[in-house]
Structure 1
């Protein structure tokens, strides 16, 4: 660039000088000495300006060279700075990666430590809770197993007793049918016979008089009236059942032996007799005796099962009617 500038200046100066010489030659024949002098002075001024211009140009050239050197230095510094910045970025990224790894490791260590501590604490807490519970469950299982064995033994014994009672009842029914004719028309004999059947059943069941049951035990009502139920049977847990015997065999025996045309009336008499016994027993209100712990009903025992079956068949609501009066027919 500097060489091109010098070439341009030289062309301008050379052209100007050539023009002046040509002009001088051209005017040498026609011009005066004064004009020649003036032209020479101009040439000298131009030479002086050219020298001054060269100096300025040299100065500018020096500045340009200095600026170029500064620019090269600046560019080198810029490249160095870029390289340093890239290195610092790489170092920063490396540090960030290291910090991330260290933070992750630290977080994992803290989490594992807390998890282990939490697990150990939970194991301790669960052990404190589950150990007593495990002991209680073990005790409960032992009690359930013992209770199951006892219930099984009790159920077996009860089943045997029920089988014995069923057989005894079957025998008593046969005996009752055989005795029916002998008891016809004698209410007192029928009542004694019914009580005898009750005591036979209780004795066969292994119950002892005045220990497990009481006969005609006297109780006082609130108005000091005497109440003497036929039987008080003691039950577990200080409970008791009132059992009263009512025998209705006269009409039933006649019904059993009568011709079909007379059976309708005799069956009605038998049913009236049973209803009369229910009404009579209900009016005694044995279920209100406060000296014993009993249900709010009384059991009415009819010794002859066929007699009770015939009555229930004739009046299908008989059992419910008795219940309405707090009487259970057995």
Structure 2
């Protein structure tokens, strides 16, 4: 009994010792596994850091390489784009230098021309001063220049110095009669005196200038009355009823209507229209445009008339053409009838004539080869 108990105790102790050893081995293995796992994790961490560093270095290198490549490519592309621009800039610079030289020459010529015009204007003012006849001639010269610039043709679109009987034994001679479409006429007068205005421009004293400006307005009013008294609107056939009173200087016109704003209305009430060079040129160009429209309208009418005549003539031709066709058709039918009588059917003429040859007729001539006929 004792031996059995000892044996059981020994077995239990051995089992306990085995369990303890197994637990210790498991704990030791678990600790070793954990250490190896930590070591592996540390190794992987270091490797990952190394890979990140290497990848970063490679990325930086690749970016630098690509950046250099792109920079070179962009530089090349930019050079190709800028090269034509450089040529254009160089051409522009060359042209600018040439243009600048030409502009300098043009400005010098313009200055010389301006100085020349100034001298000519001064000489003209001196020449016109106090000489009404010369002023009238100058006004007519300016008017002629405007007529030429408008495109109108003398003799067709306007008449100079035409003699117009007034019905009272006298003859009126308006400076210009402009002819409008529709057989209407516009009279232009250019004989206004500018003596007071030239004196006004030359005066230095303000009081004297004021007096001369009033004299200039009075002179224009006086010429309006004289022009209205000539009654050109009645004398010239087909007149529009108003006379254009041409003031050849822009400054003279502006000074007069500025000093006397009612002056144009006063003149209009007397069937006279004050007009300056700018407005007259516009009016003359309007007349030119009216004539162009009239000529185009006439051309259209002529084309329409010609087309109408051509249509009528073609209609007659078509009727005759149809008649000819019908006659040809009738001729064909008559020909076919004659041919049938001559060559086809029983008793046709050719077969009868050929039958006579069989009966002893010996004619000196024969039927043409192309003639076919029905034999009996």
* TM-score normalized by the length of structure 1: 0.49
